[in-house]
Amino acid sequence: MSSTQWLTEYAPLLVAYWPIITAVLLLLLSVLAYQKLFPTGNKSVKSPTTKISGTRDVDKSEHPLAEFEDERPDEAIAPPLHSADTPHVPYCPERLSESEMLSRSEAFYRKMNGRRSVRNFSTDPIPLGVIENIVKTAGTSPSGAHCEPWTFVVVKDTKIKAQIREIIEQEEYLNYDRRMGDKWVNDLQFINTDHEKPYLEDAPYLIIVMKQQYRIGETGVKYSHYYYEISTAVAAGFLITAIHNAGLVTVTTTPLNSGGALRELLGRPANEKVMLLLPVGYPAKDAMVPGVTRKPLEEIIALK
């Protein structure tokens, strides 16, 4: 076919489809240019997987704590909190006999099974040393990379307790009135509680558990805190256990929508957030608790 015949036959097609043909050519040129500028082997392109010696390539999204992705610290501003050459020391706790283990575990279970959430407090004073020992016990809790991402704010001052009560009751009124919804409010009826929290002033001490998202060092360096939510929650469990062990009572309260105001009142820094508020003291002589039972062992254990 001569060039004249080719033009005569295909010219109409070229005229009709020249925008599409031009777009395809431009796309191909763009792809070639990108491959030239950013070859596949370029080290500046990070791989979505990380290789651990002796294991398969692992997608980061498969991490068992991937649901806490929003808690992962900014590694660019987080130098190690502890030195890599931190010495390891011997750990040799007493090894108990099987009979002693069974006896101690049974006795501890009976003690903890007597723990109840109490909302009626005596105003009788408690030695500060007891509270300090309770907080020290909470501080023995494990934490991610041993960051110890917690602060326990202990409030004894009556004026501050009254301010805390005012802040919380204002928000709790809104919670019960409109935020929580009918089902939530109905589910709480058996506890016989509402927005009024007199125990916040009656209890001799309030302990506000703060979770630290990060730590600022003496030189202004910002240290990362890993899994601070879980770590502080575990420490709160230690704290509640220590309170009961000391013969005192508490009730775990989550001051919904009051965290910012409480942090400002207590003068705490921006890296700390309110997790729990625990009133601590003796139960009132007329204290009452719901007559509920706990799930039996077979409903909370799964043996494989």
Per-10-residue mean pLDDT of the chain, 304 residues long, equals 58 64 73 63 40 44 45 54 86 95 97 96 98 98 94 98 96 86 86 90 98 85 87 97 98 92 95 96 96 95 96
Q: Do 213 and 235 form a contact (C-beta atoms < 8 A)?
A: no
Q: How many CA atoms lie within 13 A of 291 on its CB side?
A: 0
| pTM of the predicted structure, to 2 decimals | 0.74
Residue 157 and residue 201: Cα distance in Å, rounded?
Answer: 10
Residue 90 and residue 84: Cα distance in Å, rounded?
Answer: 18
- Position 37 scores a pLDDT of 61
Other C-beta atoms closer than 10 Å to the C-beta of 273 total: 18
DSSP states along 28-61: HHHHHHHHHHS-TT-TTS--SEE--TTS--EEGG
Q: Do 272 and 263 form a contact (C-beta atoms < 8 A)?
A: yes
Interacting residues of 125 by C-beta distance below 8 A, sequence separation 6+: 204
Residue showing tokens 């990362």: 224
Tell me the CATH number for domain 116-286: 3.40.109.10
- Position 204 scores a pLDDT of 98
**Helix/strand/coil for 281:** strand
Q: Do 215 and 81 form a contact (C-beta atoms < 8 A)?
A: yes
- Position 41 scores a pLDDT of 46
Listed in order, strand segments (DSSP E) in the chain are 49-50, 58-59, 150-155, 205-212, 214-216, 222-224, 272-280
What does the DSSP 8-state code read for residue 278?
E
Other C-beta atoms closer than 10 Å to the C-beta of 72 total: 14
What does the DSSP 8-state code read for residue 95?
P
What residue ranges do the domains of the chain occupy?
Answer: 116-286
- Position 272 scores a pLDDT of 95
